[in-house]
């Protein structure tokens, strides 16, 4: 079996507004890592993993390391604080992993936030959009964006992540949502397709069962996702 080399990069919001759902977020992250470890071993996918956590400041505890070196409770020590420097977090992560991909066949970037950008100093919406577009055009990169607000699809699109790779999730059900994202990421990782602009629409089955929606019209009609009661910031 030819083992696929896949670099997964998780960019996690840890701003102060996450405080009320941080334990659920920690549990969801544990599930995400555990599932990728198990599925990679079963299906011949060699995962490397990067983690960026951000508030006003950006930290990268892990950069392109074998996933079995990543503790499942890695988020425990990175509790909520500060504001939301989303552009800086994403831009710095892209720069770092572009230099540390270690020959990955596929690169997948997941951005998770409960709010909108409000404190970046180095990156702007425009240059982040260009950076993401440049990488998507390489053909081996994929991005997904998870948010909690009705504006999630607009926020994602403004930085270059399309509707087919965007979802609104209920942070109180992060365990279920992160497990479903892990399933979708792994389905893409083991597929024959190198990169995609629509990872969720291609690989995410029954998101509503995990407190998620990939349908922006359901939010536009009601002001909140159909089904789950999402906490709006």
Cα separations in angstroms, 82 against 27, 56, 76, 78, 93: 21, 5, 17, 12, 19
Q: Which pLDDT value is given to residue 69? A: 97
- Give the gyration radius of the chain's Cα atoms: 16
**Residues of the chain falling short of pLDDT 50:** 221-222, 225-233
Cα separation, 188 vs 164, whole angstroms: 14
Q: Which pLDDT value is given to residue 101? A: 84
3-state helix, strand, coil in the chain (%, to 5): 45, 20, 35
Q: Taking a C-beta distance cutoff of 8 angstroms, is the pair 96, 109 a contact?
A: no
pTM: 0.93
Cα separation, 115 vs 96, whole angstroms: 24
Q: Taking a C-beta distance cutoff of 8 angstroms, is the pair 90, 159 a contact?
A: yes
What domains are defined for the chain? 4-222 (3.40.50.410)
H/E element, 36: helix 22-43
Cβ partners under 8 Å of residue 193, min gap 6: none
Angle of CA points 200, 202, 207, to nearest 5°: 50
Q: Which pLDDT value is given to residue 149? A: 93
Q: How many CB atoms lie within 10 A of CB 126?
A: 11
Nearest CA among 211, 131, 197 for reference residue 164: 197
The string of DSSP letters for 135-204 reads HHTTSSEEEEEEESSTTHHHHHHHTT--GGGEEEE-GGGHHHHHHHHHHHHHHHHTSS----S-HHHHH-
Q: Which pLDDT value is given to residue 219? A: 67
Nearest CA among 107, 221, 110 for reference residue 165: 110
Nearest CA among 120, 114, 206 for reference residue 152: 114
Q: Which pLDDT value is given to residue 102? A: 84
Q: Which pLDDT value is given to residue 70? A: 98
Strand partners, 66: 48
The one-character DSSP state at 103 is T
């Amino acid at each position: 079996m030819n083992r696929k080399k896949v670099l997964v990069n998780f960019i996690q919001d840890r701003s102060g507004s996450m405080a009320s759902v941080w334990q659920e977020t920690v549990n969801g992250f544990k599930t995400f890592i555990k599932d990728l470890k198990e599925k990679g071993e079963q299906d011949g996918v060699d995962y490397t993993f990067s983690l960026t956590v951000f508030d006003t400041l950006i930290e990268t505890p892990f950069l392109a390391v074998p996933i079995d070196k990543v503790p499942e409770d890695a988020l425990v020590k990175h509790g909520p604080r500060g504001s939301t420097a989303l552009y800086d977090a994403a831009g710095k992560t892209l720069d770092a992993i572009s230099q540390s991909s270690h020959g990955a066949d596929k690169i997948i970037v997941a951005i998770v936030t409960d709010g909108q950008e409000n404190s970046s100093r180095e990156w702007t919406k425009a240059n982040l959009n260009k950076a993401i577009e440049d990488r998507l055009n390489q053909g081996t990169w994929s991005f997904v964006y998870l948010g909690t607000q009705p504006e999630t699809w607009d926020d994602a699109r403004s930085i270059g992540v399309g509707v087919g790779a965007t979802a609104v999730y209920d942070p109180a059900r992060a365990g279920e949502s992160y497990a479903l994202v892990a399933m979708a990421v792994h389905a893409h990782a083991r597929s024959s397709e190198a990169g995609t602009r629509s990872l969720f629409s291609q690989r995410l089955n029954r998101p509503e069962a995990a407190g998620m929606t990939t349908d922006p019209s359901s939010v536009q009609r009601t002001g909140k996702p159909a089904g789950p009661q999402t906490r709006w910031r």
